[in-house]
Amino acid sequence: MADPAIQAVIFDWGGTLTRWHDVDFHAESVALAAAVRQTPSPDDDHHAIAARLHRAGGTVWGRSRDHQQSATIADLFAEAGLDHDPELLRAYYEFWEPHTLTDPEARPMFEELRAMGLRVGVLSNTIWPREWHVGFFERDGVYDLVDGDVYTSEIPWTKPSPLAFGAAMDAVGVSDPAACVYVGDRLFDDVWGAHNAGLRAIHVPLSNIPPEQVGHTEGEPDASVTSLAEIPAAVRALGRTRV
């Protein structure tokens, strides 16, 4: 039996819809530490707090990699044994904001996919709240072209769990995984994960994935591209579309 027509293309976010940036994770933890509610304990040195948060981040992301267990920013602080004030996350947000810019090729690429009759989705492994991600897309003028978006901070699972991909399919209104293509920069989370869930996969191999974030398996993509502008042609090559 022939594969069904492709109905949706779902995208990873960081390193796919945004261009890859190497990040100083110690500096990230220092920024995150600004949100800790201060106590009179002598152990509350700012850099010691940052080190605890850095270790907690490794634990939280390790659970995502190994057990597909999602988390939030609050879970990270809880893992570090620290109380935080969400109203004090500004330094952390500002640390990350320069790394959140949507690739300029995204909007014309989304427009072309939509013109092909395809739905556009997003599935991102993240501890950040939905409103941050939506705000980034709105800031960059692309959110109006997204038909459905899922952030793992709001569901129990992370990629590569098939349940995470299923949530993204629900968000774009497609029930058959064979009618979906997933686009991402990671061979474990995105390519192997998509295939394991029954989707086809396009790899964007432009990211310098830290060794501790590499999973146990590397999937073989159905196609690879070196820019977002190449996605529509790659999708056409994968199968029939509703043109």
pLDDT tens for residues 61-108?
889 888 999 999 999 999 999 999 998 999 999 999 989 999 999 999
Residue 209: which pLDDT band, with cuts at 50, 70 and 90?
Answer: confident
Query: Mean per-residue pLDDT for 200-224?
Result: 83
Residue 194: which pLDDT band, with cuts at 50, 70 and 90?
Answer: very high
Q: Is the sign of the CA dihedral 150, 153, 157, 160 positive or negative?
A: positive
The predicted model scores a pTM of 0.90
203 alpha carbon, distance to own chain's centre: 14
Evaluate whether 208 touches 36 at the Cβ level (below 8 Å).
no
Residue 52 CB partners (closer than 8 Å, separation 6+): 80, 81, 82
Evaluate whether 54 touches 29 at the Cβ level (below 8 Å).
yes
d(CA 69, CA 60) in angstroms, rounded, equals 8
Residue 131 CB partners (closer than 8 Å, separation 6+): none
Query: Mean per-residue pLDDT for 196-210?
Result: 88
Most confident of 2-16, 44-58, 146-160: 146-160
Span of 36-40, 45-49, 64-68, 189-193 with lowest mean pLDDT: 36-40
Q: Is 119 helix (H, G, I), strand (E, B) or coil?
A: strand
Q: Peptide bond preceding 160: is omega within 30 degrees of 0, i.e. cis?
A: yes
Which of 2.120.10.30, 3.40.190.10, 3.40.50.1000, 3.40.50.720 is the CATH number of 8-19+101-238?
Answer: 3.40.50.1000
Query: Mean per-residue pLDDT for 214-234?
Result: 91
Exposure of 174 in the CB half-sphere (CA atoms within 13 A) = 27
Q: CA separation (Å) from 88 to 64, 85, 181?
A: 25, 5, 38
pLDDT of residue 40: 47
Residue type, 69: Q
pLDDT of residue 184: 95
Residues counted in the chain: 243
Tell me the domain boundaries of the chain: 8-19+101-238, 25-98
Average pLDDT along the chain: 90
pLDDT of residue 243: 39
Q: Is the pLDDT confidence value at 39 over 60?
A: no
Residue 41: which pLDDT band, with cuts at 50, 70 and 90?
Answer: low
